[in-house]
Amino acid sequence: MTVPAIHLTETAGARSFVLPLLVGTGVLVFLLLFGDSLLQDSDSYWQIETGRWILAHGTVPTVDSFSFSKAGEPWQSSSWLAQLIFALAMQAGWAGPVIVTALAVAAALAMFTAYLERYASALVTAALALAAMVLIMPHVLARPHMLALPVMVAWFIGLIDAADRKAAPPWALLLVMALWANLHGGFVFGLMLIGPLGLEALRQAEPQRRLSLALRWAAFGIAAVAACCATPYGWGTLLAATKILSLGEVLSTLGEWASSDFSKFGTFEASLLALLGIALARGLTLPWPRLLLVLGLVHMALVHVRSIEHYALLVPMIAARPWALQLGLARKSAEAKPDLAPPAWAGVVAVIAIIAATIAAAPRLHYRFDEPQVPERALAAVQAHGAKRIFNAYIFGGYLISRHVPVFIDGRAELYGEARVMDMMRATAGRDPAALDRMLTGNDIDATMLPPSAAAVRQMDERPGWRRLYADDIAVVHVRD
């Protein structure tokens, strides 16, 4: 196994940039053609409004200024840089956030393709890139986690390449972690990758080098934790990023944090079966650190659907090198002719040209946000009535914030806490009328704004002292009589 491993390492990066460029361009064009699909989460509204707040005040938020139910309470944004980018992009209308998101996803898939092409044919690499895109597509939204996607891929490639070199990660990789920590709270996942990939490096290293290598990986891990704190919030960044995981029951009610559903056959199940079938049919195995990492990623994807993107992008890269060795692809990679590849500067020029063309096309791109989350006419009716304190549905919070209306609740579940969010969910669903009473009376609510499908709408129709003011297909408004 030693000789093929050397061949693989020596030819890493020797392939042409053409296939990654084609994949990235294809992803970019696809997302721009179907850009409306990126605008289906009302959280995008408050994310952009937070970025505007940062621009207006020249600092990051430390207390809540968007709600009346939690006004002035401590809150910090774990995605302040991404929100700033979205706010700047929004100057071009919704085309701006769509373009920024599309470029980020395209970059992530291009890097994914470039890594896999080291160990697989162009056809297999393209097929895996397509499969990864299909898996992550339901989670591709104009939100900060997409801007962090290429950063995650770059971080992982840096770690796994170091492990395969039987060396510690380069210190320059800490800059990637610092960027990730400012873009999105998912950087905690990046820290978790250091352990298993460090073990993989030790497994491959000669016994006499393992102690010194372990110390270097440990030093890198400590430095990575420190790099996470290179944000306006300092050490508070770590605490803020872990708050979302303490929401308990809330995580099972929010769509992106729900468990994977296998009641109907879907792409995630198909990918799991394909992974298992190929491994069993070909007798393929993984070194134990990589196996543990794959099992961990599968577990994450089963528990929370939003983790499917980690599974889709990282599992193929984890298996690529070991499986290429076992399938005898090492020598074929070694026989590649790098001198036939276009010069690297041509790839840089092509990337710049694509980005410039995309930005130039922005004025001609017109997208609309998902209408069921935009209660524009309902809000106009509330404002005409003079109501100030609106008991709004969870999905309407982002839009109301964008209209500078103080909200009762919005997508910042970590601010409101498990008890408040669950009371809201049960009350809206009509399962807890007592919770609805508490929230209406305890917060001096003078109007409610709920989707027509909410069971609480019927309760409000029958509630003494309240009357229906407005209704359409998006929202129903009740006010005090």
- d(CA 39, CA 148) in angstroms, rounded, equals 18
Instruction: Determine which helix (DSSP H) or strand (DSSP E) holds 123, and give its type and residue range.
Output: helix 122-136
Residue 460, both tokens:
């409000």
Residue 274: what residue type?
A
- d(CA 396, CA 415) in angstroms, rounded, equals 16
What percent of the chain has a predicted confidence (pLDDT) above 90? 75
pLDDT in tens, 426-458: 899 888 889 999 999 999 999 999 999 999 999
Q: Is the pLDDT of residue 245 over 50?
A: yes
305 — pLDDT class (breaks 50, 70, 90):
confident
Q: What pLDDT does residue 5 have?
A: 38
Gap between the terminal Cα atoms of the chain: 80
Q: What pLDDT does residue 260 have?
A: 80
Residue 332: what residue type?
K
Residue 353 C-alpha from the chain's centroid: 27
362 — pLDDT class (breaks 50, 70, 90):
confident
Q: Is the pLDDT of residue 247 over 50?
A: yes
Q: What pLDDT does residue 248 have?
A: 65
Q: What pLDDT does residue 236 have?
A: 87
**Main-chain phi, psi angles of 468, to 5 degrees:** -80, 125
Q: What pLDDT does residue 329 have?
A: 73
What's the mean per-residue pLDDT of the chain? 89
337 — pLDDT class (breaks 50, 70, 90):
very low
Q: Is the pLDDT of residue 111 over 80?
A: yes
The torsion of the CA quartet 358, 359, 362, 365, rounded to 10 degrees, works out to: 20
Q: What pLDDT does residue 238 have?
A: 85
Q: Is the pLDDT of residue 414 over 90?
A: no
Rounded to an integer, the average pLDDT of 256-262 is 75
Q: Is the pLDDT of residue 84 over 90?
A: yes
Q: Is the pLDDT of residue 345 over 80?
A: no
Rounded to an integer, the average pLDDT of 355-370 is 87
Q: Is the pLDDT of residue 103 over 90?
A: yes
pLDDT in tens, 9-25: 433 444 578 999 999 99
pLDDT in tens, 32-41: 999 999 999 9
Rounded to an integer, the average pLDDT of 89-111 is 96
Residue 440, both tokens:
């209406």
Q: What pLDDT does residue 336 have?
A: 40
pLDDT in tens, 142-161: 999 999 999 999 999 999 99
